[in-house]
């Protein structure tokens, strides 16, 4: 038993409990349902630890347990990340949890700059080496359908993460690489300090503010159609 406890102490000193701290912040402070992702392949490579050799989202998806196991229960979250300290944090989107719109990373840089120029207030933005996700307030399929129907054109590279969907949250490491906050969920607090603030009962108790999906979608479409190249910067 002393050997096991000593190993856990070394993990804490080495900073390897950052995913656990972040998962607890999401689940217990913000009430976002989470579960561990499958993780990258052996040796932390770009592959996936799941059996599919052609996995489309390597390391960045649920596997065992499945998506329906996502929870805000503190004991379950602690058990998961105590047994798998480096597991990616998967947020189950939809319902009462945040939803998201994602687009390719290269396009996202220009898109966020355009939204800032238009004065669109954004909430948290998650960045991976390949895609960025803009978190928005929960929406259902009926609302999304109405919004899309009202648009003359929507970038084909834009993806919607609603009920039954998921995204990976920082500070996860997936097959594509490191996941980070491009826009912090708590303005004024550095992302690395989120876990420590949760422990001390600080400012992350309230869930982050999230914009309405309609405002974000309208602005993204306007930014893309108004581009000199016809909006191709929002394409793959």
d(C-alpha 196, C-alpha 78), whole Å: 16
Q: Is residue 141 part of a domain?
A: yes
104's enclosing H/E stretch is strand 99-104
What mean pLDDT is reported for the chain?
A: 83
The most confident of the ranges 3-12, 205-214, 218-227 is: 205-214
Domain, as residue range, for 81:
11-234
Q: Is residue 1 part of a domain?
A: no
Q: Is residue 75 part of a domain?
A: yes
Phi, psi (deg, nearest 5) at residue 126: -100, 135
Cis status, amide bond into 2, omega within 30 of 0: no
User: Helix (H, G, I), strand (E, B), or coil: what is residue 114?
Assistant: helix
**How many separate domains does the chain show?**
1
Question: pLDDT by residue (tens digit) across 188-213?
Answer: 656 555 655 455 454 456 899 999 99
Question: pLDDT by residue (tens digit) across 130-187?
Answer: 999 999 999 999 999 999 999 988 888 899 999 999 999 999 998 889 999 999 998 7
Residue 229 neighbours by CB under 8 Å, 6+ apart: none
Give the burial class of 163: count Cβ atoms within 10 A of its Cβ; 0-12 exposed, 13-18 middle, 19 or more buried. middle
| Contact predicate 220/202, CB 8 Å | no
Question: pLDDT by residue (tens digit) across 111-121?
Answer: 999 999 999 99
pTM: 0.83
Q: Is residue 5 part of a domain?
A: no
Q: Is residue 224 part of a domain?
A: yes
Q: Is residue 137 part of a domain?
A: yes
Q: Is residue 230 part of a domain?
A: yes
Q: Is residue 2 part of a domain?
A: no
């Amino acid at each position: 038993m002393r050997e096991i406890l000593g190993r856990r102490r070394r993990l804490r000193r080495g900073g390897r409990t950052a995913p656990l701290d972040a998962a607890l912040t999401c689940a217990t402070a913000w009430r976002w349902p989470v579960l561990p992702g499958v993780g990258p392949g052996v040796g932390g490579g770009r592959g996936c630890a799941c059996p599919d050799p052609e996995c489309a989202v390597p390391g960045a998806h649920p596997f065992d347990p499945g998506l329906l196991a996502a929870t805000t229960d503190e004991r379950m979250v602690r058990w998961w990340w105590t047994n798998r300290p480096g597991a990616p944090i998967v947020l189950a989107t939809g319902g009462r949890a945040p939803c998201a719109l994602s687009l390719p990373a290269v396009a996202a840089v220009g898109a966020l700059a355009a939204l800032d120029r238009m004065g669109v207030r954004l909430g948290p933005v998650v960045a991976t080496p390949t895609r960025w996700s803009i978190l928005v307030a929960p929406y259902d399929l009926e609302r999304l359908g109405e919004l899309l129907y009202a648009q003359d054109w929507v970038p084909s590279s834009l993806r919607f993460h609603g009920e039954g969907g998921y995204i990976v949250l920082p500070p996860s490491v997936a097959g594509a690489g490191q996941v980070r906050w491009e826009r912090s969920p708590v303005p004024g607090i550095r992302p690395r300090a989120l876990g420590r603030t949760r422990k001390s009962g600080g400012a992350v108790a309230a869930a982050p503010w999230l914009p309405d999906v309609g405002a974000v979608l309208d602005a993204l479409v306007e930014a893309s159609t108004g581009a000199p190249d016809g909006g191709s910067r929002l394409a793959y």
